[in-house]
Amino acid sequence: MANQRGRRKTGRRKYSPGAGTEVEREMRRYKRGTAKSGRGGRGGKVKSRKQAIAIGLSKARKKGRRVPKKK
């Protein structure tokens, strides 16, 4: 039963290691309270973990890391 539903055929990572590093960096900023949202960080403070992760993934996309596309 190698081909069950819900399983990917290839063993390739969805997110590149570089993307994980970018999210890690953003989570540290969030925990310290220095993470900002919006263009150029002019927005308010990041208040949720989900928001911090989304910002990290967005930065990874801009740098060309392998990250699945937004839905």
Structural domains of the chain, count: 1
In a domain, 69, yes or no: no
49 domain-assigned: yes
Residue 1 within a domain:
no
**pLDDT value, residue 53:** 95
pLDDT at 3: 61
Distances (CA, A) of 12 to 8, 27, 57: 9, 25, 18
How far apart CA 29 and CA 14 sit, in angstroms, is 24
User: pLDDT (tens digit, 9 = 90+) per residue, 30-69?
Assistant: 999 999 988 887 889 999 999 999 999 999 999 999 999 8
pLDDT at 43: 86
Instruction: Determine, yes or no, domain membership for 3.
Output: no
Residue 9 domain flag:
no
What's the whole-model pTM score?
0.78
Domain housing 24: 17-62
